[in-house]
Every structure is written in structure tokens, then in C-alpha cells.
Amino acid sequence: MTGAPGAASRLSTAVAEQPEAEGRLRDHTVLVTGAAGFVGTHVCRELARGGARVRGLVRSAAKAAERLAELPIELYVGDIRDATSLGRAMHGCTAVVHLVAIAVERPGQSYDEINARGTERVLAAMHGAGVRRLVHMSQNFASSKSPYRFLRSKGMAEDAVRASPAEWTVLCPSVIFGPEDEFVNVLARLVRLSPLIYPVPGGGTARFQPIAVDDVARVVAVALDRAATVRRAYPIGGPAQLTLRQMVERVLVAMEARRILVPMPTGVLRPVIALLQRILPAPPVTTDLLDLLAIDNVVDGNALRDAFGIIPTPFAPEELEYLRGITAAQAFRSLLGR
């Protein structure tokens, strides 16, 4: 959730009955940044179900109306790059769930500006509004010293959170999957665009630990509900470590599709991806993300079950059946940003 800076404005308040939560969650008025995004919509739903009063900061009123209309939340149009937007949205809140981040840079939206400086602005707005509680969505292997620009920007954000006076909880997930994600859905769209041969970057040997978005949302709710999570960072992932090739194979089963998987060195793919970045409004992968597809992304000590008591959802074909609805036409339009 990003966009041009602008003052926040209240959109609407839906009314619905939700079961009461136990513990601290129902005592919170929570601002969720990026509320209309992939993770944000699931987090808002889980927090509302748990009894929290939820407020969402969104960039697009139309997108928010489409994704969040049925939820009992307040929506504010604004931007994390604008202090006025943040201040107005945070007024009267007791906690913030900060989700805004970009994995792909666009004109006017850089890793540094959105991921790193955006988080610093959120922290400053919290201080100004007197909000102390924060759940911050970081990234597995985020580090301000990482050689990878995306992970470095997320590491800079996490450093700012840890150095702040906020009562923070940091979550560090492996790749998150779900109906609206931009990782597994990209793999599926490439299936539709590759009618016979499917190139697998780096031979598909890099390992991931995909975690379901609903499980991530549950972790956010539990973290807010438990004082013991304050000033703690938690690596979270799914139940199994899978190579990229194994993930693609499960995507193919879910889509009832057959493709010949061809290992492709990243050095061969790089000039092709660089060209696509220049000519396509929304390329399926960038050179920065291509580098990340060649390294392991598995968690060291999975807190999902041990710390939060959540049974992880498997990355299994029966959990991925929504991918069958992706058509070749939709996959092509996605390249044009439509």
C-alpha cells in the first residue's frame, strides 16, 4: 500500500457483530497500515474477529471498498510518506500493525523510501500520537548489512523499530502465500504463459518455507494479545522446507497442468529479466527478486507452532486450488499492470 502523499480522510464505518476476544486484544484500537493489501486484508479480518477496534490506512478508496467493505473497520485514505496522513489516522489508537512494504520498485517507490524511511515515519507518528504498541512485519533474513537491496531495506526498517521506544514485536516470515499473493500467483501466471516448457531459476534448488497468510494474520492477533511478545522477534514459516522446484511442482498439480521443468541459470535469465523490466509496466520478476530466488529462505526455529500455538497450513495442492482460476488472458494483462 503506497502512493502519492495526501491528507488522510475517514471513509466509512461498517457495523457487524464479532465474537469477543480474550485477553488484551479487545482493549485495543489498532491502526493497520496497508490494510487493503494482501496481508492487510487478512490481518484486519482476524483482528476484527478477535474483538479489536480496527482502523485501516489505505491508499486507494476503491480497492479498500472492494476488499474490506464487509468488515467492521474505519478506513482512512492516506500515505505513510505523509506525516499528516499518519497523524490523523493514528489519533486515538493504542496499537499499530505496520505492514506497508514493497518487494518490487516502481517509479517514485524505492525500497529506501517505502520500506526503510516509511517505517521511520510510522515510528515518528506513533511517538507524536502517544501510541506505544507496535507489531512490525519484517522479513526472514532482513539485515541492514545484506547484499540484497530488498532485504537491506527491510533490515534498516527493523533496526529503526528495535531502536525505538515502542513496545514492539517483530515478525520475520518466509514467503507468504494466499489467493492474492505476488509470489505463488506469479508462478501460476507463468504456468499459463509457458504452454510447454517452464524455466526454473537457478535450477530450483533454493529452499523456502511458505507460510499461509491466514496463519500470519493469526500470529499478529496473538502477538497483540500477549504482553510476553513485547520486544521479541519471531521467525515464522510453514510446516515444511521446500525447494523452488518442489513449489512449482505443487502449483502444477493444483492447476492440473503439465509442463517440462527446465533448470535455468540465473546468469542466463538476468539479461532477459532486465529487458522485461524495461519494456513491461509490471514484469513478473525483477533482477533484484531473481537474486532472491537463488538463495535459501527458511526460518531458524519456527515460532509459529512453538511460540504462538498455531498448527501451520501446508503448502499443498488442495490449499492452492484457487490458482486454477488464473487464465492466460489474466496472466497477460498482469504484465501490463491491469
Cα-Cα end-to-end distance for the chain = 16
Nearest to 47 by CA among 97, 119, 9: 97
b/e for 231-262, b at 16 or more Cβ within 10 A?
Answer: eebbbbbbbebbbbbbbbbbbbebbebebeee
Q: For residue 9, name the pLDDT band (cuts at 50, 70, 90).
A: very low
Q: Give the pLDDT confidence of 219-260 residue by residue, as tens digits.
A: 999 999 999 999 999 999 999 999 999 999 999 999 999 999
Half-sphere exposure of 175 (CA within 13 A, CB side): 29
Q: How confident is the model at residue 18 (pLDDT cuts 50, 70, 90)?
A: very low
Q: What is the pLDDT of residue 84?
A: 92
pTM of the model as a whole: 0.91
Residue-wise pLDDT for 146-199, tens only, equals 999 999 999 999 999 999 999 999 999 999 999 999 999 999 999 999 989 999
User: What are the residue ranges of helices labelled H in the chain?
Assistant: 38-49, 61-68, 83-90, 111, 117-129, 149-163, 184-193, 213-225, 244-255, 266-279, 287-292, 303-306, 328-335
Mean per-residue pLDDT over the chain, rounded: 91
Which residue reads 464487509 in cell numbers? 70
Q: pLDDT digit string (tens) for 92-140?
A: 999 999 999 999 998 889 999 999 999 999 999 999 999 999 999 999 9
Q: In angstroms, rounded to a whole number, what is the distance separating the alpha carbons of residues 106 and 276?
A: 14
Task: Please name each of the domains of the chain with its CATH number.
Answer: 9-173 (3.40.50.720), 184-205+242-295+315-335 (no CATH)
In the three-class reduction of DSSP (H, G, I as helix; E, B as strand; rest coil), residue 208 is classed as strand
